[in-house]
Every structure is written in C-alpha cells, then in structure tokens.
C-alpha cells in the first residue's frame, strides 16, 4: 500500500493581544486608588479563512483588542480583575459575529498604601506587595462566562510542625527521614466558581485567608497532605467554589552539616536550596463537581 500525500488540517486556534499592561488610577480628591493589571486576550471562532486563504475579513485586530482594554479601563473602571475580564469577554463575543469564544487572562499586581505619618492629607503613595499576584481567567463562549480566580507567588513557611518519613526506600534513596523540618512553599492556586454572581474581592480575600490558615494550622506529614488540607478548606468555606487546583513547589530547607566546624546544628541553620525543587500539584473538588481547571504543563 502506498501512502498518499498527507493533508494538513487546521486545529484549535486562538489569537489576541497578550500582556497589555494597564494601570488605572481613580482619584477621590487627594485619595487615589490604583489597579495594576496585565491583561491577555485570546479570541477564537470562525477563523478558518484567515489561516487557510489569507482573508482577514473576520479578523478583529489584536491592536484593537489592546485598545479595548485601555478604553474599558477608562469607561468602566476596574472594580475587580474578574469583573473587568467578564466585561471584556462578553464584549468581544457579543460585538463580533465571527468570534464565538473569548478567553481573558488577568494578572493583577497588588499595591499597598504607604501610611506615612508626615505625608499630610495626600494619599497617593503606594508600595508593591511583594511577588504575589492575583489572577483571573474568564472564558465566555456565548452561553455565559466561567470564572477561575487565583493567586501566584504567595510564599509561606512553617518553621516546625512538619515531618517527612515512612516513604519508599529504593537503591537511589538518600534523603534522611525527619521528625522536624522546615516546610516552605510558594502557593500557586486557581479556583473555579459555579456562577458569576459573586462578590469577587470578598471571595478572593476569603480564599487567600483560608489557604493561609490551612497552611499554618495543618500538622504536616507531607506537602501533599498540606496541599489537600488547603484545597479542602477553600472548597468547604466558599460555597461558590467548585474546584481548586494547587501547584506547590517544595522550597527545600536542608540542614547544614556544621560538624566539620565542631558545631552542633540543632535545627537552627538551613541551606535554602533554589533548585531542583519538589513540585506537588493536585485538584481538590466539591464532591460531584467536574474537574475543568486545566493541568498546567510541566515547568518551566
């Protein structure tokens, strides 16, 4: 049998402007408010011709999608990352017939107010709140929007109340068992809401608080166990949340061998290793819910 020339066909495709950095300042007299966003737009729909024939008749330019982000920030403000993303997604799907689905990803960088005693009545000074970012991803397919909120870069550490032992010992296992170790991670979490009638800021603050409380309050025999406790706590305390996916790098703290210096290391001096790192990931679901948060590809 001779194989004929294989025909290529177009598969999943999407397009839009990635990473529009928009900063919206709102002024209430001398008190200013800041929203600092990184917005990515991905549109899909009736886009066969642009790929296959070169006709751009159905193409809303990526440049226009970027302009829409800036114009909406002016016209509607940014009440929350989720609300802003929902508004954008709805706009692209309802204003352009060929566009059937819009996926908006927002990363929000948090600024805290600098409360300086000698700053006078003006309240216009801010300090970036570490590496933490808030995320929102909205997919609107015409039928309605689905919202996945999250956070990245939330670094936490327990200086005790963590053990790790009882694991498999094969011929390559060298890790010593421990009854008292440092447990540290950078929380990367995404959680999916059942609907869109949600107080986004309050829900985000509550989810973040529950993640922290579960991390601090769980006596840990593994990061896997801590992960499940964190996810379960969010699902149990936020009735609107259907599932949560957590990606937790184990920020290893190895005890330094001080014996060569004639010193005892009584769980006091650690080497904070950068890489490699264990990477513990799982989804925690409300019983009966469908897992719809996609698994991220392996890093980086």
- Interface with ligand URC (CB under 6 A), residue total 7
Pick from 241, 250, 253, 284: which binds ligand URC (CB under 6 A)? 250
Task: Tell me the closest approach of the beta carbon of residue 166 to ligand URC, in angstroms.
Answer: 11
Would you state the structure tokens that stand for residue 103, as one six-digit string?
Answer: 């996926």
Q: Is 63 annotated as a binding residue?
A: yes
CA-nearest of 54, 56, 66 to 92 is 66
Pick from 71, 175, 256, 263: which binds ligand URC (CB under 6 A)? 175
Pick from 217, 278, 291, 294: which binds ligand URC (CB under 6 A)? 278
Q: Which residues are catalytic?
A: 17, 62, 252
Pick from 185, 210, 218, 222: which binds ligand URC (CB under 6 A)? 222
Give yes or no for a contact between 133 and 151, defined as CB atoms under 8 angstroms apart: yes
- The span from the CA of 300 to the CA of 298, in Å, is 6
Q: Is 188 annotated as a binding residue?
A: no
Q: Where do runs of H (alpha helix) occur along the chain?
A: 48-52, 62-76, 81-95, 200-217, 223-237
- The span from the CA of 298 to the CA of 35, in Å, is 31
Select 80 or 226, whichever has its Cβ closest to ligand URC.
Answer: 226
Select 38 or 224, whichever has its Cβ closest to ligand URC.
Answer: 224
Is the bond preceding residue 52 a cis peptide, omega within 30 degrees?
A: no
Give yes or no for a contact between 17 and 40, defined as CB atoms under 8 angstroms apart: yes
Annotated binding site for 5-hydroxyisourate: 62-63, 164, 181, 224, 250
Site residues (vs ligand URC, CB under 6 A): 164, 175, 222-224, 250, 278
Annotated binding site: 62-63, 164, 181, 224, 250
């Amino acid at each position: 049998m001779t194989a004929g020339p294989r025909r290529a066909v177009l598969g999943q495709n999407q397009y839009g402007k990635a990473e529009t950095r928009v900063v919206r300042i709102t002024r209430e007299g001398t008190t200013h408010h800041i929203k600092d966003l990184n917005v990515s737009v991905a549109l899909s729909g009736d886009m066969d011709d642009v790929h296959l024939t070169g006709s751009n008749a159905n193409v809303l330019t990526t440049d226009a999608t970027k302009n829409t982000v800036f114009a909406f920030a002016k016209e509607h403000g940014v009440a929350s990352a989720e609300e802003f993303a929902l508004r954008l997604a709805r706009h692209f799907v309802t204003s352009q017939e060929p566009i059937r689905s819009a996926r908006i990803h927002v990363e929000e960088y948090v600024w805290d107010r600098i409360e300086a005693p000698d700053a006078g009545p003006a309240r216009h000074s801010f300090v970036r709140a570490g590496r933490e970012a808030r995320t929102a991803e909205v997919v609107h397919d015409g039928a309605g929007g689905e919202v996945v909120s999250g956070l990245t870069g939330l670094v936490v550490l327990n200086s005790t109340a963590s053990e790790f032992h009882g694991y498999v010992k094969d011929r390559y296992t060298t890790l010593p068992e421990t009854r008292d170790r440092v447990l540290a991670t950078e929380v990367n979490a995404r959680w999916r809401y059942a609907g869109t009638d949600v107080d986004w800021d309050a829900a985000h603050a509550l989810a973040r608080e529950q993640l922290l409380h579960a991390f601090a309050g769980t006596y840990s025999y593994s990061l896997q166990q801590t992960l499940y406790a964190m996810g379960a706590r969010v699902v149990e305390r936020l009735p609107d949340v259907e599932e949560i996916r957590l990606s937790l790098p184990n920020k290893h703290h190895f005890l330094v061998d001080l014996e060569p210096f004639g010193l005892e290391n009584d769980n006091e001096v650690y080497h904070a290793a950068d890489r490699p790192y264990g990477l513990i990931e799982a989804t925690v679901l409300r019983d009966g819910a469908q897992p719809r948060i996609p698994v991220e590809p392996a890093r980086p």
